[in-house]
Amino acid sequence: MTQAQLAERRNSVTQAVAEIREFLGERISTAQAVRDQHGDDVTWHKGVPPDAVAFAENTDECVKIVKICDKYGVPVIPFGTGTSLEGHFTAVHGGISVDMQAMNAILEVNPEDLDCRVQAGVTRKQLNEHLRDTGLFFPIDPGADASLGGMAATRASGTNAVRYGTMRENVLALTAIMANGEVVRTSRRAKKSSAGYDLTRLLVGSEGTLGLITEITLNLQGIPESIVSGVCPFPDIESACNVAIQTIQTGIPIARIELLDEIQIMAGNNYSQLGLEEKPHLFVEFHGTEAGTAEQVELFGEITQEWGGGEFQWAVKTEDRNKLWQARHDAFWASCDLRPGEKSFSTDVCVPISRLAECVMETKKDLDDSGLYGPIVGHVGDGNFHVLVFADPTDPVQLKTSYGFLDRLVLRALSMEGTCTGEHGVGVGKMKFLEAEHGTGVNVMRQIKKALDPKNIMNPGKIFTI
Amino acid sequence: MTQAQLAERRNSVTQAVAEIREFLGERISTAQAVRDQHGDDVTWHKGVPPDAVAFAENTDECVKIVKICDKYGVPVIPFGTGTSLEGHFTAVHGGISVDMQAMNAILEVNPEDLDCRVQAGVTRKQLNEHLRDTGLFFPIDPGADASLGGMAATRASGTNAVRYGTMRENVLALTAIMANGEVVRTSRRAKKSSAGYDLTRLLVGSEGTLGLITEITLNLQGIPESIVSGVCPFPDIESACNVAIQTIQTGIPIARIELLDEIQIMAGNNYSQLGLEEKPHLFVEFHGTEAGTAEQVELFGEITQEWGGGEFQWAVKTEDRNKLWQARHDAFWASCDLRPGEKSFSTDVCVPISRLAECVMETKKDLDDSGLYGPIVGHVGDGNFHVLVFADPTDPVQLKTSYGFLDRLVLRALSMEGTCTGEHGVGVGKMKFLEAEHGTGVNVMRQIKKALDPKNIMNPGKIFTI
């Protein structure tokens, strides 16, 4: 950028902020600490702070903000809970971060239709807390207590996706503000429709680059009569993977099947007092009727025995079950706790289930060969797993080794007909792999982006280059 | 169109046909009978024949056809089995119909990943026949033995959608030719991904207006250990609807729950020798383990008793089950058989499950008040139902009455937060309702269409006006 362009950009931002301040008052901030907090995440991605942070409270305010940003050509960057793992909210081209955390109203719950409508800032735990007395729950559970807007924007999933699907399957409709300020409601509440293009699914996973999501209508599930959770150790990670593969191929409707390798178990023993043998484990859960879960447990038990699985520890009481899954969700923090002074890079890939064991084993070998510390945890029923790579961010050799490993991990998944990210999204972190994964499809994505956001103001610099 | 424009258009078509003939030879036809057969469907929609019909055999040939049509600005209209119910393949702006029926190769079956890849002309029955010895099946079953390309393009569903989802959930990836001739493969084979825009879901339901679908990767299901089918009569249609509502709300994982009203039962008794009492019936099916289906049957039985359901007739043997579901799929022909000389208009709407009984009852009353013959059948577990309206197409009064009824039916569904079509698609038949259903969303659809198909050659004149 030339000096003149920089000055013009600063001027545009100043004018946009001034106009937004007219109706938000003190709810727009340019304080450095606030800006920093809205540009940086927990990963290695170098965060760029936005020029200002607007704390919106409803769709109307968001419309005004987008219209002003459109007028001045200033980027609009949605911010939920700040728990993104691929640099989704870093302000690479500056602009206004729209903080949705105050948009936390649960607008309607329709138990008779098993759906609800929430503002984008409602978090998954807040929603489930609210649903507590309805007999319903919302199953999608990324590790963080993320906002549902952010989860829709990144097409998030979690431990229950193997049974209940991801945000792709569980968002029924969205309200989004397009780049021109037009408010779009993507769908009615009917469970299915053949009426026109699937704008819901287009916006789910678009990472704020096509529209600012302000409300979400979600499918809910009935809390099953019987829930059975347990953990089981395996002699090696390959056996654990093969149990996951066979479970899926057999058609057992397992609700959760999570792999934690021996390093992660050690971390969990320290952080969450799991008290487990330092071996690879599967954390599993079965949902159904009393008879149904008993039957699933029996079938699953037969598979684990075939692969040398050890004794199950069952979590019968609700509090034991909660403790178990909290420990699973805390995997990231448990690992961080073991490596003070280092930064982590939590990455994820996803492959067809038949390639899971092979992909995990090759990855494990690559970690060993590279001398990297990297626990593996995974939603293995989906063929999806994470590696938490740790390195000292001030050591260029460690960083280079880590980045080399990450590149090979993605290329390995792609070579197995998999994807560069199963649930974290592209953000800035996976941009370089998108052409390798989608080829000419990226041209189509660009054409859509240019048509819907001709000034490139909606979270620019993410997913792909224009 | 002026005479000069018409002459120019004819000239473009002639040149395009000549160039296509260079590589298709006799597989492109301009014979009137062939053209008529590719322009007209079984409904009231007035079909316009295409200028020529190209019988393609693979993706490469389709690419050449699209590139030539792009060069001359000639419309490309995909044709599967010709069983569309909303005029999807009528050539309203002329052009080349691309008949996909010879593209009927099953390219790969991956039993270990529960997926397969097929050419677009493969029909659902052909696929299931092919899968017979694998222990797998493909559940989506519209009434007709439609092509999987057409089913993807119209986001079709059928009787199993209540359990297994629609084409939206069951298409894993697509190969499509975009308007510029570029071949796009929308996704890898991993079961989930957060990598970029969901082009798969954008093309599913786009009715040929964004790209020509040539190959489809589909999710498959394991054939359940136990399948239990049955029929049950009800004193009135409202009770039958309430059973469907309560079944869904209770969370019984029912595989099929189909409503046939007393008129449809009478038609089915004549056409398929059902031998059932002339009362509204539910046709149901349960999938699971032996114990699981027994449990579902028991729970469902309790609900039917609450609503005055009569004795169940169970179809235990495979052939009895097949006969039952064939009769359900033949509902359309059974009704036609009762009304010789008349034409039918099979329409569908879909509402949130809580509004189902109300919507069906009001529709039934409207039929009575209008003096129309219109059996109602429905995938009621989805809140989706069909009315087959019959009228003498030469009688303007009957036609006017019928169209008035159809308009009211759609507006009723929309007023209940439903959709103008649950599974038939928009085509030309439902275009006028799209703005009422989607509002500003139609602007977004238009922007996407214009960006991806600037010359408007991909099945023009469908879904919305440009």
Judgement on whether residues A309 and A353 belong to the same structural domain of the protein? no
The answer to whether residue B451 is domain-embedded is: no
The answer to whether the beta carbons of residues A50 and A36 sit under 8 Å apart is no
Which pLDDT score is estimated for A70?
Answer: 98
**pLDDT-based confidence at residue A343 (cuts at 50, 70, 90):** confident
pLDDT digits (tens, 9 = 90+) for A208-255: 999 999 999 999 999 999 999 999 999 999 999 999 999 999 999 999
The answer to whether residue B256 is domain-embedded is: yes
Tell me, what CATH number does B401's domain have? 3.40.462.10
Judgement on whether residues B66 and B200 belong to the same structural domain of the protein? no
pLDDT digits (tens, 9 = 90+) for B400-451: 999 999 999 999 999 999 999 999 999 999 999 999 999 999 999 999 999 9
Find tokens 């991990």 and name the residue: A409
**pLDDT-based confidence at residue A392 (cuts at 50, 70, 90):** confident
Other residues' Cβ atoms within 10 Å of the Cβ of residue B450: 14
The answer to whether residue A455 is domain-embedded is: no
**pLDDT-based confidence at residue A293 (cuts at 50, 70, 90):** very high
Tell me, what CATH number does A129's domain have? 3.30.465.10
Judgement on whether residues B81 and B148 belong to the same structural domain of the protein? no
Chain B residue at shortest CA distance from A242: B112
Biggest CA pair distance of chain B? 72
The answer to whether the beta carbons of residues B74 and B16 sit under 8 Å apart is yes
Tell me the C-alpha distance between A379 and A266, whole Å.
19
Which pLDDT score is estimated for A446?
Answer: 98
The answer to whether residue A409 is domain-embedded is: yes
How many structural domains does chain A have?
A: 4
- Chains A, B: CB pairs < 8 Å: 289
Find tokens 């409803």 and name the residue: A58
Tell me, what CATH number does A388's domain have? 3.30.70.2740
Chain A residue at shortest CA distance from B172: A352
Tell me, what CATH number does B22's domain have? 3.30.43.10
CB contact under 8 A, B196 and A438: yes
pLDDT digits (tens, 9 = 90+) for A166-209: 999 999 999 999 999 999 999 999 999 999 999 999 999 999 99
Amino acid letter, residue B255 = A
Please tell me the distance in Å from B85's CA to the nearest CA on chain A.
Answer: 12
Residues of B in contact with A110 (CB under 8 A): 352, 354
Tell me, what CATH number does A323's domain have? 3.30.70.2190
Which pLDDT score is estimated for A244?
Answer: 96
pLDDT digits (tens, 9 = 90+) for B300-359: 999 999 999 999 999 988 899 999 999 999 998 899 888 888 888 889 999 999 999 999
Residues of A in contact with B291 (CB under 8 A): 291-292, 295
DSSP-assigned letter for residue B223: P
CB contact under 8 A, B196 and A433: no
For residue B44, pLDDT over 80 is answered with no
pLDDT digits (tens, 9 = 90+) for A111-167: 999 999 999 999 999 999 999 999 999 999 999 999 999 999 999 999 999 999 999
Tell me the C-alpha distance between B246 and B260, whole Å.
18
Please tell me the distance in Å from A133's CA to the nearest CA on chain B.
Answer: 15
- Between B342 and A43, the more confident residue is B342
For residue B239, pLDDT over 80 is answered with yes
CB contact under 8 A, B196 and A434: yes
- CA-to-CA dists, residue A14 to A21, A28, A34, A39, angstroms: 10, 12, 17, 19
Please tell me the distance in Å from A232's CA to the nearest CA on chain B.
Answer: 24
Judgement on whether residues B9 and B23 belong to the same structural domain of the protein? yes
Judgement on whether residues B386 and B306 belong to the same structural domain of the protein? yes
Judgement on whether residues A309 and A357 belong to the same structural domain of the protein? no
**pLDDT-based confidence at residue A442 (cuts at 50, 70, 90):** very high
Judgement on whether residues A68 and A137 belong to the same structural domain of the protein? no
Which pLDDT score is estimated for A364?
Answer: 97
Which pLDDT score is estimated for B46?
Answer: 80
Chain A residue at shortest CA distance from B169: A169
Which pLDDT score is estimated for A242?
Answer: 96
Read off the pLDDT of each residue in A65-90 and give the average, rounded to a whole number: 97
The answer to whether residue A442 is domain-embedded is: no
Residue B379: which of B255, B465, B194, B231 has the closest Cα?
B255
**pLDDT-based confidence at residue B392 (cuts at 50, 70, 90):** confident
For residue B225, pLDDT over 90 is answered with yes
Judgement on whether residues B245 and B366 belong to the same structural domain of the protein? yes
The answer to whether residue A128 is domain-embedded is: yes
Read off the pLDDT of each residue in A399-425 and give the average, rounded to a whole number: 97
Judgement on whether residues A253 and A233 belong to the same structural domain of the protein? yes
Read off the pLDDT of each residue in B206-229 and give the average, rounded to a whole number: 97
Q: Which of B69, B101, B133 is where one domain is finished?
A: B101
Which pLDDT score is estimated for A393?
Answer: 82
Nearest to A186 among B178, B245, B441 (CB): B441
Q: Which of A298, A332, A366 is where one domain is finished?
A: A332
Judgement on whether residues B139 and B9 belong to the same structural domain of the protein? no
Other residues' Cβ atoms within 10 Å of the Cβ of residue B302: 10
Nearest to B423 among A188, A192, A442 (CB): A192
Which pLDDT score is estimated for A342?
Answer: 87
Which pLDDT score is estimated for A316?
Answer: 80
Which residues, in sequence order, are CB contacts of B397 under 8 Å at separation 6+? none
The answer to whether residue A444 is domain-embedded is: no
The answer to whether residue A449 is domain-embedded is: no
Q: Residue A31's domain spans which residues?
A: 3-101
Apex CA A241: angle with CA A235 and CA A244, to 5°?
120
Tell me the C-alpha distance between A350 and A437, whole Å.
12
Judgement on whether residues B247 and B326 belong to the same structural domain of the protein? yes
Q: What is the mean pLDDT of chain A?
A: 96
Q: What is the mean pLDDT of chain B?
A: 96
For residue B42, pLDDT over 80 is answered with no
Q: Which of B205, B222, B239 is where one domain is finished?
A: B222
Which pLDDT score is estimated for B30?
Answer: 98
Please tell me the distance in Å from A389's CA to the nearest CA on chain B.
Answer: 20
- CA-to-CA dists, residue A235 to A238, A242, A308, angstroms: 9, 12, 7
**pLDDT-based confidence at residue B181 (cuts at 50, 70, 90):** very high
What ipTM does the predicted assembly reach? 0.97
Which pLDDT score is estimated for B316?
Answer: 80
- Between A91 and A340, the more confident residue is A91
Judgement on whether residues A236 and A169 belong to the same structural domain of the protein? no
- In percent, the amount of chain A with pLDDT more than 70 equals 100
Chain B residue at shortest CA distance from A299: B289
